[in-house]
Chains A and B, each alone.
Chain A
Amino acid sequence: MPTNDELQQQLIKDLLIESAEGLDRFDREMLSLEKGEGQPETLNVVFRAIHTIKGTAGCLGLSKVESVAHVGENLLDAVRSGKLSLTQEMIGTLLCYADALREILKCLESTGNEGDKDYSALLQKLQEHQVARTTEATTPEACPAKAETSASPTWGLFDDDPLPVLSPKPESSLPASPPTRTPTAAESGPEREPAMKGPSVSDSAIRVSVDQLDKLMNLVGELVLARNQIVQYSGLIQDNSLIAASQRLNIITTELQEGVMKTRMQPIGNVWTKFPRVVRDVAHELGKKVQLVMQGNETELDRTIIEAIKDPLTHIVRNAIDHGIEMPEARAVAGKPGEGTLLLRAFHEGGQVNIEIMDDGRGMHVAKLKEKAMQKLMITAEQASRMSDREALNLIFLPGFSTAEKITNVSGRGVGMDVVKTNIEKIGGSVDILSEPNSGTTIKIKIPLTLAIIPALVVTSGGERFAIPQVSLLELVRLESDQALKGIQMLSGSPVYRLRGQLLPLCYLNKELEIEAPASSAPQGQSTTAPSSRTSDAVNIVILQADGRQFGLVVDEINDTEEIVVKPLSKQLKGLTCFAGATIMGDGRVALILDVLGLAQHANVINEVRDRSMGDKSKSGSGNTNKQTLLLFDVGKGSRLAIPLSMVARLEEFPRDRIEHSGTHRVVQYRGLILPLIRVADYVTAHGVAEEESPDIIQVVVYSEEGRSVGLVVGSISDIVEEVVNVRRDARGQGILGSAVIQDRITDLLDVSAIIQAADPNFYSQKPALELVA
């Protein structure tokens, strides 16, 4: 038998759940009343919601909830019975009143008591609404049914119940009663009580705690694994009855899995219910008119995901109203209806849930975004000019970006959209944005249905298996031995692979994880096969995407894709950022799940994340513009360097014997001047090929700046090309700005100013270092 205390706790919990639902319903109906769509029944619904809260709170001795609820109830009752008509102002107050109730209940939930915030001003206002109108109302008394029979006796559950049994009380006297504590227990007329409970869905539905569902989900996960093992095993043993049984098990397990997954699914409408209110409040605050349309309320999502998208969605909605939708006057000028439309749409597609938030506001101006980003030094002018419209729109997801001219209460602090993006990406989703100036903006979110069971690619490296979540996977590349030799090149010591003209940094899984398969560590037979597969010359590259950047992961073997059940790692392993969790494979062994982002950071393939991702994106969008003319040359065997031709004053050849010395510098006489020479090979680390004594004629690239010249000694000049250059800064090294694919070969771009600076610190003495365009 539960003690009174436990029972009380349980009842309070129920009250909290019920009230939250009730208040949401209250908001919803209030808003429809505000729009003038209310039906006579609507008022009853609103009234009942409050009435239930008040009644239950009264029984549980929650005097504050009860007293606050009571005042509003009176007002609503007056409206409902036709004594008052609902005004806009009144609706506003009533919505605040619902918030006040929420606040008290929240306080009750977190601290166990009702808090001591004073709501008398609000209550005063509620009463004023009523008094102002009812004073002239002719009938001071409500319908006789309301002369109540107190419900208290049936609630005599608690010894400590502070509520006295009440006598009927005329409604009209209530406005005068002090707002602090109104000791009416359940002011329910007998005819209202049944209507409140009603023959609703509650008969066919029960409340189940989320913990319970989570536990079930875990068990099903384990069952799936056991099923996998049995199915595998039954394939080995040719026993017909075992095969039949395992097939049955297979089907049942799959259905069970789906069934349990469904129990955790909630319609997205559950999150959306609060948006009408949000939209109304924000629109009111800003003096805008917004109509909210919601489609696909019934689209279902896993509970955990619903939780995770709640805040990002709210943020987007607020943003859309604040930044997107214009003031009514501006809309009129643009030839649009004064009331803006915000459309929320959710639907399933390809095993994912799509959510679209569409407004018909002013849209975003690409040029404005770029300008803003440049102002904030997030991108350079050059990057901006190369950026496609779509990339420019994605600028809003950078941290610290905000285009709002003024910081309003609603948005514009620039802490929003990047958080939205990270939160959505955290659950394996993606955000995309489309915008048309003057016709509106659409934000598209794609999220997976569930997080507990995910599709993954299983790979082997160093004799161990690893699972890679499919969401990060872009493609698989297999290079046969000769291709591998040609395809993988070294750039300042780090391997890169050229994938359709793009440079892709590579990392080797076994090296990153330090699993060069020391033989002792693997007593199992399985891993002995691994070294052989690695020594076969083919290279398997898994191309992955993390935080908008791509990189290639070299593994020994690519096995299969599988649905895996994600299990968290124990605390001892939490520090390992390379792993996202573990799972149990069909053969019963444990495999680790790679955290692609963590791994990429560990391997240093995506260090300056944001910065480079901009460079990377600009590559794909650079299209036809921005061709550069480059001079290609080398400084010895195998090297290939380029500088923009615009930086070259002349190309000269000098016989070796004309080189003279001036101080520590090597110089030549050139057009009546002394031209200092700089051997490029001495400053470019990666190409430190010494070939001092070879040709009799030296090749010199003359570089001039403000009347001063310097000669860059190179090995040989190979070509002049005009090409679109996509510089990757990964390979940045001493004297190298970056690298690019030019004429299908990897070419380093020489950092001329850095080299000159290094050779002759005084060269730029009159002038700060140049910003060289690479």
Chain B
Amino acid sequence: MSHTKQFCTFFIDGHLFGVEVLKVQEVIRYQEMTRVPLASRTLQGLINLRGQIVTAIDLRRRLELPPRPTHQLPMNVVVRSEEGAVSLLVDEIGDVVEMDDDVYERPPETLRGVSRELVTGVYKLKERLLLILDTEKTVTLQAAPLKGA
């Protein structure tokens, strides 16, 4: 019997992404956010997660996808990273799926840009592909740009 892994899936700009379910702390709906001036735009803001301050990263910007339509409120996928919880902002949340190693493949060569760095692999579903994100890499932003400082 082959190995299986569970993933928490979500949609970003029509693509299906997933992160290992064990890395996910929780999924919550849109929270009010406090912008951080001078920080990179990828860093959408800070949210209050039951008294804990969590940094929210906009995955659309992180993956260099077109910005989310303004009327659409993102969901928070809170993942555990090496330095505490970080929230990933996604368009829509999907199911938790159990994937078989048989349908796994390394990221296709055609992947370009940032995705190539962040996507560790691809699972072939019947109708679409599930792109698996490396959470550590995803939450690591280059040192925040210091405009004019």
Residue positions of A touching B, CB distance < 8 A:
221-222, 225-226, 462, 464, 513-515, 520-524, 567, 569-579, 582-584, 588-592, 601-602
Contacts and interface: CB of A to CB of B under 8 A. Distances in A.
B46 interface: yes
B40 to A, nearest CB: 8
Contact of B48 (A570, A572, A590): A590
A579 B48 contact: no
A576 B51 contact: no
A521 B53 contact: no
Given A584-B51, A589-B32, A591-B34, A573 B144 contact: yes
Given A226-B51, A584-B48, A589 B141 contact: no
A584 B46 CA distance: 10
A221 B48 CA distance: 13
Interface in B35-53: 35-39, 43, 45-48, 50-53
Interface in B84-127: 84, 86
8 contacts: A225-B51, A514-B38, A570-B54, A570-B55, A570-B84, A572-B43, A577-B146, A602-B149
Contacts of A577: 146, 149
Interface of B: 32-39, 43, 45-48, 50-55, 57, 70, 83-84, 86, 139-141, 143-149
Contacts of B70: 520, 523
Given A514-B37, A515-B35, A573 B55 contact: yes
A573 B57 CA distance: 12
A206 B34 CA distance: 42
Nearest to B139: A572
Shortest 3 CB-CB distances between A and B: which pairs? A222-B51, A513-B37, A590-B34
A576 B39 contact: yes
Contacts of B38: 513-514, 576, 578
Given A515-B35, A589-B32, A576 B48 contact: no
Interface secondary structure of A, over-half rule? mixed
Given A570-B86, A582-B53, A584-B48, A576 B147 contact: no
Given A570-B84, A590-B47, A602 B148 contact: yes
- Most chain A CB within 10 A, of B45, B53, B55, B144, is at B53
Nearest to B70: A520
Contacts of A222: 50-52
Contacts of A521: 35
B37 A515 contact: yes
Given A513-B38, A570-B86, A584-B48, A575 B147 contact: no
- Most chain A CB within 10 A, of B46, B57, B86, B141, is at B46
A589 B84 contact: no
B30 to A, nearest CB: 10
Contact of A572 (B51, B53, B55): B55
A584 B50 CA distance: 10
B101 to A, nearest CB: 33
A571 B39 CA distance: 12
B148 A592 contact: no
